[in-house]
Structure 1
Amino acid sequence: METWKATTICCVRKGDDVAIAGDGQVSLGDTVIKHGAKKVRSIRDGSILTGFAGSTADAMNLFEKFEAKLDEHGANLTRAAVALAKDWRTDRVLRKLEAMMIVADKERTLIISGNGDVLEPDEGVAAIGSGGSYARAAATALVRKSDLDAEACVREAMKVAGDICIYTNDHVTVEVLGA
């Protein structure tokens, strides 16, 4: 059975700016199925950014579950992320989901996985998905050594990932916190 390969998601926090970007490519094996999928979104009137890597149906399910956890925990990002990760790891249906998420608000950036992980990365840079390592390396260098704002850093990091990873394209969607 062929495996879906899809996505690079990168989130950059620099100064007071937070931006998240996702490429649009969805692949099945060695075939590109879609070029312009939207894998990042702004929720809660622009106060929280989210992005997913993995199966689209699984990700939609996780977005809904995450929003429910935000409701349940008074919009506390960390508590909602921990509750989602716990459910994801222990629920019979949820634990079969194949995806990862990045969520961010003004204070935190978190990576959530189905293994029960809720990770807050160093230096305000997080990346997941097929080209995540490339995007993270590029974004980290840009945050450390450039005067670019968060949005420009995340766009440049996605270009680097797209140039290296065959499962990442240049159809990038960017969401900026509070924009």
Structure 2
Amino acid sequence: MADEKFPGWHGTTIIGVRRGGEVVIAGDGQVSLGQTVIKGTARKVRRLNPGGREVVAGFAGSTADAFTLLERLEKKLEALPGQLARASVELAKDWRMDKYLRNLEAMLIVTDGTDLFIITGAGDVLEPEHDIAAIGSGGNYALAAARGLIQSDLGAEDVARRAMQIAADICVYTNGNLTVERIAAS
């Protein structure tokens, strides 16, 4: 049964690929309501700069909810500079325990160029296997494509772009209008 609070919002595809001393996070630009594309140029990958240390984050799910989570993550990173893992765990704990945050419908992929995590509302902070993380409605397609492409000589950005194109060809809630952010290991 569909959730009455969220009438047919379908997401996006976000992928993070770590390779060769850098991490690339790419996301598509499609926002859908039911069977209608509301916007094709949304920017779902952002650079955060709390305390002067850059972090790249991509989100899938409700935009307002994701921005709330990104603001909370920035505050955690300001309080815990240079500690993405700890800040992510603190955010996940708050997200799971706080009555208001618990209702937020979004997921995040975050990186500081060294660490790569998926953060969920279930209290999970997951470090993906094979240096690839993917979320959203086309996430499994992008993940499968990237796992195959990672065996090639392609760099992180090329793997991410090609995996996103494959996901966009398969998932009707994903388009080829990409935002791509790259960050080097610190």
TM-score by length of 2: 0.92
AA aligned opposite 2:111: A
Q: 1:9 aligns with which of 8, 11, 14?
A: 14
In structure 1, how many angstroms separate the alpha carbons of the residues matched to 2:46 and 2:161?
A: 16
- Give CA deviations for 1:43-79 in whole Å, capped at 9, x if unaligned: 2267311000000000110110000010111230000
1:88 and 1:27 mapped to 2: Cα distance? 25
Report the more deviating stretch, 83-92 or 101-110. Answer: 101-110
Q: Which of 153, 158, 172 is matched with 1:152 structurally?
A: 158
Counterparts of 1:52-91 in structure 2, within 5 Å, are 52-91=59-98
Distance 1:20 1:106 in 2: 10
| Number of residue equivalences | 177
| Percent of matched pairs sharing the same residue | 56
Amino acid in the other structure paired with 2:92: A
Q: Which 5+ residue runs of structure 2 have no aligned equivalent?
A: none
1:25 paired with 2:33, answer no
Deviation at 1:136, TM superposition (A): 0.6
CA RMSD of the aligned region, Å? 1.1
Q: How far off is 1:106 after superposition?
A: 2.3
Provide the rounded CA distance (Å) in 1 between the counterparts of 2:118 and 2:146: 16
Partner of 2:23: helix, strand, or coil? strand
Aligned-partner Cα distance in 1 for 2:122–2:152: 35
* SS of residue paired to 2:91: helix
